[in-house]
Every structure is written in C-alpha cells, then in structure tokens.
Amino acid sequence: MPLVLSMKCLPATQGIGLLSSHILKRFSSSKRWQARQLKDRFTREAAVQGLKSRAAFKLLQIDEKYHIFESGQTVVDLGYAPGSWSQVAVARTQPHGRVLGVDIIPAQPPKGVSTIQGNFLDPNIQAYVREFVRDANRGRPHPPSTILDAEYDDTQLKSNANASSDKQTDPKQWDRNYSVDVVLSDMMMNTSGISFKDHAGSMDLCHAALQFSQEVLRTGGHFVCKFYQGAEDKALEEQLRKLFRKVHRLKPESSRNESKESYFIGLGRK
C-alpha cells in the first residue's frame, strides 16, 4: 500500500469516546493501554496509512512546520524502531534519498531503510554509523536493473570499521567531509516514572545524538531530537544554539499530553 503520509484527515474529535470512563476504571493498566490505543485517532490513522506507529505524525507535523526533508537527502534515524519515522523519511526523500536507522532492539526495517542494531551510546556503534555514511552511495536506491535490498550488510561494514578503528574512535581525527543532511533522534529508553532519572537518561541520549551531528552533519543540515523535559534541557538548548542557525521547541499534537517528551528542532547547521 503506498504511503499517503497525511495529517489532514485527522479531525480532532474523531474516535474519542468509544469506551466510557467508568468502564475504563475497572481495567488493568495493560487493558487501559490497549483501550487507549484503540480510541486514539493517531493510532487508527497510522494503521489506515500503513505506518508502523502513531509516532509518524509527530515527524509529519515537524516537517510540515519546518520543512526539513528534500528529495535525495541522507537521513540518519537514531532509535528508529519500529520504523514509522524512517517510513516518513524514505517517502519524503525519494527517489534518490537514503535512510539509515539505528536501534538497540532488533526490528524488521521498513522498505528502503538500511539498519544497524546496537546501543548508540557505544562508541563502536557510532563508528559503524560514521563508516556507513562516509560512503555517499551506500544504502542509496539503485536503478531498476540493479535493485539491491537496502538492508545493511553487517559483514562488510564490520570489516571496514575494524580496518580503521583507531581513526573512527577519535572523532577529532575524523574529517568533517560528510554528507548527512538530517539527523533524527527519537531515542528513549524505557521510562522508570522517576522524573529526574528519566530526564538524565534522555539527556545522555540527546548529547550523544548532538555530538554525532556535530561530526557528520553538512553545513545547512537539520537535527530533530526528542527530549524528556527537566532541569538540564535549557543547557542542551544553549548547545544547540551554538551549532544551528535556528532552534525551536515543539510538543507535537500527537505527543500525549501526559508525557513529558518534547522535541528540539535545530535548523541549518552553521
């Protein structure tokens, strides 16, 4: 099914009220979660549009507002699983774009997405990712006569990474001749419910994504990063302002009100 990738067919009141609140109270928390998913208009619309999750609508709203995608771009999607942001990125950068997803958990990548499985906080994984994007053609769609699966060739990449591992683990020695146009990070570990702990974990992921962007983003490139709000997000914003011409905060409409997540959008790497 072709991806429509539209937010326009989502009337605000659609689907609310499928289950009355007195019934919901009797449910266990997992039942409540299931019920919430069922009545959530973004979840249902994601299924209709063939998207892997409702998270797609956050990125669609960000792109509608800030126009981060263009055809032919290289996009790195950190924390890509299950893959709806990557689906949006593939659709918005086709026909010649390339999308590389990285996630700590194994997942079936969406069509047209190359993937690396690993913990992005691990310097070796970051080295693999840098190695991948350094070759401007790697993971890019081929002409119809030579179609190859965009799936990541682990063997080849590992051997390349090992061949020059000293250079890769020291980002300062790594020349900035990269062509990444957009770095997305929707990374979030499982939340504990303890605000300061979840905030601190989120900040670690954001700093890793920002440091990586500093190493690989081309001048003019863009950055989108989920963060869990808390005491340190102002300092992160200051760091973003040093690297990008414009920095915005956005809590997308499809982000649940009760969630402390929000997004930084860094536009135009200096």
Ligand X SMILES: C[S@@+](CC[C@H](N)C(=O)[O-])C[C@H]1O[C@@H](n2cnc3c(N)ncnc32)[C@H](O)[C@@H]1O
- Summarize as ranges the residues that interact with ligand X (CB under 6 A): 52-53, 55-56, 79-85, 102-105, 119-121, 186-189, 205
Based on CB atoms, which residue is closest to ligand X, 217 or 224? 224
Based on CB atoms, which residue is closest to ligand X, 79 or 97? 79
Active site residue 226: yes
Smallest separation, CB 85 to ligand X (Å)? 4
Smallest separation, CB 4 to ligand X (Å)? 16
Could you give phi then psi for residue 102, rounded to 5 degrees?
-130, 130
3-class SS shares of the chain: helix, strand, coil, % to 5: 40, 20, 40
* Closest residue to ligand X using C-beta atoms: 79
> CB–CB of 115/100 below 8 Å?
yes
DSSP string, 100-140: EEEESS---PPTTEEEEES-TTSHHHHHHHHHHHHSTTTTP
Candidates 226, 242, 251, 270; catalytic one? 226
Smallest separation, CB 21 to ligand X (Å)? 27
Based on CB atoms, which residue is closest to ligand X, 41 or 52? 52
Based on CB atoms, which residue is closest to ligand X, 63 or 103? 103
Residues ≥6 apart with Cβ < 8 Å to 39? 15, 16, 17, 18, 19
Could you give phi then psi for residue 269, rounded to 5 degrees?
-55, 130
> CB–CB of 222/182 below 8 Å?
yes
> CB–CB of 86/98 below 8 Å?
no
Smallest separation, CB 103 to ligand X (Å)? 4
Tokens matching residue 248: 């915005």
Active-site residue set: 226
